Amino acid sequence: MNRLQHETSPYLRQHAANPVDWYAWGEDAFQAARSLDRPILLSIGYSSCHWCHVMAHESFEDPDTAAIMNALFVNVKVDREERPDVDSLYMQAVQTMNQGRGGWPLTVFLTPEGKPFYGGTYFPREPRYGMPSFRQILEAVADAYQNRRGEIDEVAGNLAATLSHDLLGVPSRPEALTPALLDRALQGFHADFDWTYGGFGGAPKFPQPMNLEFLLRTHARTGSQAALEMVTLTLRRMARGGIYDQVGGGFARYSVDGQWLVPHFEKMLYDNAQLGRVYLHAWQITGDPFFRRIAEETFDYLLREMTGPEGGFYSATDADSEGEEGKFFVWTRAELVAALGEEDAALASVYWGVTEAGNFEGRAILHVPNEDAAVADHLGLTVEALRERLALIRGRLYAVRAERVPPGLDDKVLTAWNGLLLAGLAEAARVLDRADYRAAAIRNAEFLLATLRTPEGRLLRTWKDGRAKLNGYLEDYAALADGLLELYQTTFEPRYFSEARRLVDVALARFAAPDGGYFDTSDDHEALLARPRSLQDNAMPAGQSLLLKCCLRLTAYTARPYYEEAAAGALGMLAAAMERVPQAFGEALGVVDMLVAGLAEVAVIGDPAEPSTRALLDVIQRPYRPNAVVALAPDGAGDDHPVPLLRQRPAQAGRPTVYVCRNFTCARPVTTPEETADLLGRQNPGHGQNG
């Protein structure tokens, strides 16, 4: 066993038995490189990465390859999910060296000072795919380092200089944050949209929940049917495709094709946390029960399979089981018959497109090629009868599948990813009246607040097996703050609001950049070659954009212009980029939408356990109102209440009362659901039967 046996990361521990003399990232590795005068071989991946497993099996488990690595390099293994700063920095370096191409596994060669000079992604054991073998790469790099050190140092110095970006060099233009900017962004999405299968661009195809949320906001603000149709077509096609687990719920990372049929089978917490919320919002807008079903199945999957006994949410499950990609999820016609009997297997085969030939290496990825009504008509059933039988069939298939060898589970708990699901569960709890979602959200928040922060109140990144460690990143502060603000609006427990505000205040102070934006790492974080600054969305929303969304909400809650000024200043630097490549800035565009539309500041005075107060909250919170913030106190709140929006708001004539304000100017207080709906917009564009 090498040094990685002492790590908590499941990904690093997967490599603990390699014959490679691995180091974890840290000063020990750099000291060894300096004392031995060897380059560092940095390998970055994550536990559910298929090609990471392939390269590990081909090279890192091979004694002969390991011997070369150990003789010529100091070898460092990094879990990108634990160290997004290291991953971001060296991914940028590899993309610079390779005309924008990058991915995982990420393989980078560094000087003992940490400066990159050569890199790529997956390298095969033997020369193929137009690539040299990994051993050829190792020997060529070591030879260059020993015999052409001047060239290596020059390349490393130039690359290190390109990675330094403390300042964006772009003036802030808050005046450009206008409806016209959002309209042009909508045009950009429209031009790139696939009107046959949904989604944006071609294969491989990713869900992009941040962009879908922006389109839903656009529909709510403008009534654009095109914006809504882009979302609903995408959500329907995804949920009927193989990217969706038709038996157990939840979405895979992406589809390798453009039709959502063949997934890369790993399931990530961040994808499902965000997608469950998008489907929830689509149901709020359209009233279509299909969207509600997918939202609930996704959240139910996460609670059933991705929740630890302490209340934290696990990170991911693997694409592989028993060494084969997707083996856990696919079926043959014979397996369906064995599990269901001939009659139900015939129905399942028609509904999920299962044939003897299969659609994936001789087996079948379950998908829904036809509408329910067409299948029911073909089988001589009503739609209701078809769905009732399918519900029973799903349960039986799930039980049979549970006997298979499952994919590997990455059971570390990451603060930012947990914050995303906390937000989604808290919102779904109040919209769908799901007490189990509410309880899970409260338990998660209490776990995170108790376990993943220091006695000084600073956040930690990761937890596993009772050990929390690593300095928190901007996305950790922002995502958890967002989740706590959502939980406050579900429970109206003031402590959650106070904790969210404290996290935002820490982030604004410790992550600020000199030009007004925000770095990914705090001012007391480990110094790297450069301080990472990720402004575009990736699989996760950009940490800065999440933070700015929290700032605007806090402006509405506190009437402190400081928060809005921070948001507008940072967003203003992105105005040109948002217009040029809107697909990279869905979360930031959503924050601009908040600025443009303005927030409704809603204060409710009343006991939420009373039916009359509950009726008011239902009018406020059940419809899709993305630009409303809600606070509640059971009775009048004094000047010391932690939520300033509630201060000096008395009940009217002893009845539950609603105050609706915009830009800190309030309408007269009202006491009935009808009056409340009139103030908030009884039928905002597109709110459908749930408006």
Domains identified in the chain, total number: 4
Q: What is the pLDDT of residues 262-296, one digit of tens each?
A: 999 999 999 999 999 999 999 999 999 999 999 99
Q: Using CB atoms within 10 A of its CB, is residue 638 exposed (0-12), middle (13-18) or buried (19+)?
A: exposed
Least confident of 40-54, 114-128, 159-173, 297-311: 159-173
Is residue 96 within 8 A of residue 160, CB to CB? The reply is no
Query: How, if at all, do strands 22-24 and 74-79 pair?
Result: parallel
Is residue 299 within 8 A of residue 276, CB to CB? The reply is yes
Statement: residue 415 has pLDDT above 90: yes
- Based on the fold, state whether residues 533 and 572 are members of the same structural domain: yes
- Based on the fold, state whether residues 52 and 77 are members of the same structural domain: yes
Q: What is the pLDDT of residues 186-217, one digit of tens each?
A: 999 999 999 999 999 999 999 999 999 999 99
Domain boundary among 597, 614, 648: 597
pLDDT tier at 170 (50, 70, 90 boundaries)? confident
- Based on the fold, state whether residues 392 and 503 are members of the same structural domain: no
pTM of the model: 0.95
Statement: residue 690 has pLDDT above 50: no
pLDDT for the residue numbered 100: 87
Q: Average of pLDDT values for 125-152?
A: 94
Domain boundary among 136, 163, 190: 163
Query: Which helix (H) or strand (E) is 74 found in, with range?
Result: strand 74-79
Domain boundary among 355, 382, 403: 403
Statement: residue 687 has pLDDT above 70: no
DSSP assigned state of 131: B
Statement: residue 165 has pLDDT above 80: no
> Which residues, 6+ apart, have CB-to-CB distance to 624 below 8 Å?
216, 220, 281, 284, 285, 684, 686, 687, 690
Average pLDDT, the chain: 95
pLDDT for the residue numbered 158: 93
CB neighbour burial string for 186-220, b if at least 16 within 10 angstroms, e if fewer: bebbeeebbeebbbbeeeebbbbbbbbbbbbbbbb
Residues 484, 218, 659: CA angle, nearest 5 degrees: 55
pLDDT for the residue numbered 675: 96
CA 337 to CA 439: how far, in whole Å?
39
pLDDT for the residue numbered 636: 76
pLDDT for the residue numbered 685: 34
Statement: residue 683 has pLDDT above 80: no
pLDDT for the residue numbered 166: 66
pLDDT tier at 664 (50, 70, 90 boundaries)? confident
CA 404 to CA 320: how far, in whole Å?
12
- Based on the fold, state whether residues 437 and 540 are members of the same structural domain: yes
| Structure tokens belonging to residue 275 | 């997608």
Is residue 56 within 8 A of residue 12, CB to CB? The reply is no
Identify the three-state secondary structure at position 382: coil
- Based on the fold, state whether residues 25 and 128 are members of the same structural domain: yes
- Based on the fold, state whether residues 585 and 616 are members of the same structural domain: no
CA 167 to CA 548: how far, in whole Å?
19
CA 553 to CA 546: how far, in whole Å?
11
> Which residues, 6+ apart, have CB-to-CB distance to 506 below 8 Å?
457, 458, 477
Is residue 567 within 8 A of residue 548, CB to CB? The reply is yes
Long-range contacts of 436-441 (CB under 8 A, 24+ apart): 436/303, 437/299, 437/303, 438/490, 438/491, 440/303, 440/307, 440/311, 441/483, 441/487, 441/490
DSSP assigned state of 229: H
Is residue 33 within 8 A of residue 39, CB to CB? The reply is yes
CA 11 to CA 77: how far, in whole Å?
9
Residue 482 belongs to a domain: yes
**Nearest in space to 403 (alpha carbons), one of 323, 345, 335:** 335
Residue 171 belongs to a domain: no
Statement: residue 453 has pLDDT above 50: yes
DSSP assigned state of 582: G
Statement: residue 164 has pLDDT above 90: no
| Structure tokens belonging to residue 323 | 């060494």
- Based on the fold, state whether residues 290 and 379 are members of the same structural domain: no
- Based on the fold, state whether residues 376 and 501 are members of the same structural domain: no
pLDDT for the residue numbered 658: 97
Residue 187 belongs to a domain: yes
CA 591 to CA 552: how far, in whole Å?
8
Percent of the chain with pLDDT over 70: 98
CB neighbour burial string for 646-675, b if at least 16 within 10 angstroms, e if fewer: bbebebeeeebbbbbbbeeeeeebbbebeb
Is residue 319 within 8 A of residue 265, CB to CB? The reply is yes
The backbone torsions φ and ψ at residue 351, rounded to the nearest 5 degrees and listed phi first, read -70, -45
Q: What is the CATH number of the domain that holds 55?
A: 3.40.30.10
For residue 26, give its domain range: 3-163
Statement: residue 27 has pLDDT above 80: yes
CA 587 to CA 570: how far, in whole Å?
13
Residue 125 belongs to a domain: yes
| Structure tokens belonging to residue 152 | 């290596």
pLDDT tier at 241 (50, 70, 90 boundaries)? very high
CA 17 to CA 22: how far, in whole Å?
10
Is the dihedral angle over the CA atoms 350, 207, 546, 471 positive or is it negative? positive
Residue 272 belongs to a domain: yes
Query: How, if at all, do strands 628-633 and 600-605 pair?
Result: parallel
pLDDT for the residue numbered 238: 98
Statement: residue 32 has pLDDT above 90: yes
Q: Using CB atoms within 10 A of its CB, is residue 290 exposed (0-12), middle (13-18) or buried (19+)?
A: middle
pLDDT for the residue numbered 663: 86
pLDDT tier at 682 (50, 70, 90 boundaries)? low
DSSP code per residue over 470-518: EEPPHHHHHHHHHHHHHHHHHH--HHHHHHHHHHHHHHHHHSB-TTSSB
pLDDT for the residue numbered 291: 98
pLDDT tier at 638 (50, 70, 90 boundaries)? confident
- Based on the fold, state whether residues 295 and 355 are members of the same structural domain: no
3-state helix, strand, coil in the chain (%, to 5): 50, 15, 35
Is residue 489 within 8 A of residue 629, CB to CB? The reply is yes
Beta bridge partners of 43: 77, 107
- Based on the fold, state whether residues 467 and 396 are members of the same structural domain: no
Statement: residue 688 has pLDDT above 70: no
- Based on the fold, state whether residues 204 and 296 are members of the same structural domain: yes
CA 257 to CA 254: how far, in whole Å?
9
**Nearest in space to 677 (alpha carbons), one of 609, 623, 626, 633:** 623
DSSP assigned state of 583: G
The distance of Cα 248 from the centroid of its chain, to the nearest Å, equals: 20
Residue 174 belongs to a domain: no
Q: Average of pLDDT values for 165-172?
A: 78
Is residue 620 within 8 A of residue 604, CB to CB? The reply is yes
- Based on the fold, state whether residues 417 and 399 are members of the same structural domain: no
Residue 157 belongs to a domain: yes
The backbone torsions φ and ψ at residue 236, rounded to the nearest 5 degrees and listed phi first, read -65, -45
Residue 170 belongs to a domain: no
Q: What is the CATH number of the domain that holds 218?
A: 1.50.10.10
Q: Average of pLDDT values for 526-546?
A: 95
Instruction: Provide the Cα torsion 645, 646, 648, 651; round to 10°.
Output: 140
CA 524 to CA 530: how far, in whole Å?
13
Statement: residue 600 has pLDDT above 90: yes
pLDDT for the residue numbered 237: 98
DSSP code per residue over 599-661: -EEEEEES-TTSHHHHHHHHHHHSS--TTEEEEEESS-B-TT-SSGGGBT-PPBTTB-EEEEE
